[in-house]
Amino acid sequence: MAHLRLIFLGLLLVPELLYAGGIALRFGPPAVGSGGPNPVSIPPAGRDMGLSYVTDKGTEYNLAITGFSVASRQKTKWGGYSSLGAGIAFSTNGGGVGPYGGFGIELGCGGWVGCFSAEFTQALGFGFGGLASPTALRVGIMKWF
């Protein structure tokens, strides 16, 4: 019950989360070496997962195994988009706060199932443990509502 209270409190403090938008669930390959999408092999190690929420105002919230970011999203008419923002990134080298960037494509939007979504993201985290620079290539479904 305490978790629900925290979620509702967060929605009140950040009212932009209540706007209409879209949610995406994407999967990608596991990392090889440090700096990839799942360098520390956090279960499930066989794949990388990312969850994105995009408001109708173009603000994008990303949550993945390697961190959290908030970005501004610019979408084109043909389905491509780019994101630029900041967040927290983790890797085997450590973790920290730094810039975030990504680009992708969404095709076939408008149906009840959702649209095909593919993206490539790169983040940098500057911290006491060193530089974290996780990258991710993910494919999944984006559902706009």
- The dotted CATH code for 19-144 is 2.40.160
Q: Return the pLDDT at 103.
A: 94
**pLDDT at res. 4:** 52
Q: Give the chain's end-to-end CA distance (angstroms, integer).
A: 27
Residue 76 sits at φ, ψ, to 5 deg, of -100, 170
Beta strands in the chain (DSSP E): 21-28, 48-55, 59-64, 67-75, 80-91, 94-107, 115-123, 125-127, 130-132, 135-144
pLDDT digits (tens, 9 = 90+) for 36-57: 555 555 555 556 788 898 988 8
Q: What is the pTM of this model?
A: 0.75
Cα separation, 27 vs 101, in Å, equals 18
- Angle, CA 104 vertex, CA 137 and CA 56 arms, to 5°: 125
Q: How many whole angstroms separate alpha carbon 126 and alpha carbon 67?
A: 13
Q: What is the pLDDT of residues 108-141, one digit of tens each?
A: 877 667 899 999 888 888 876 777 777 788 899 8
* 81 CB neighbour count, 10 Å cutoff: 19
At residue 15, the pLDDT reads 54
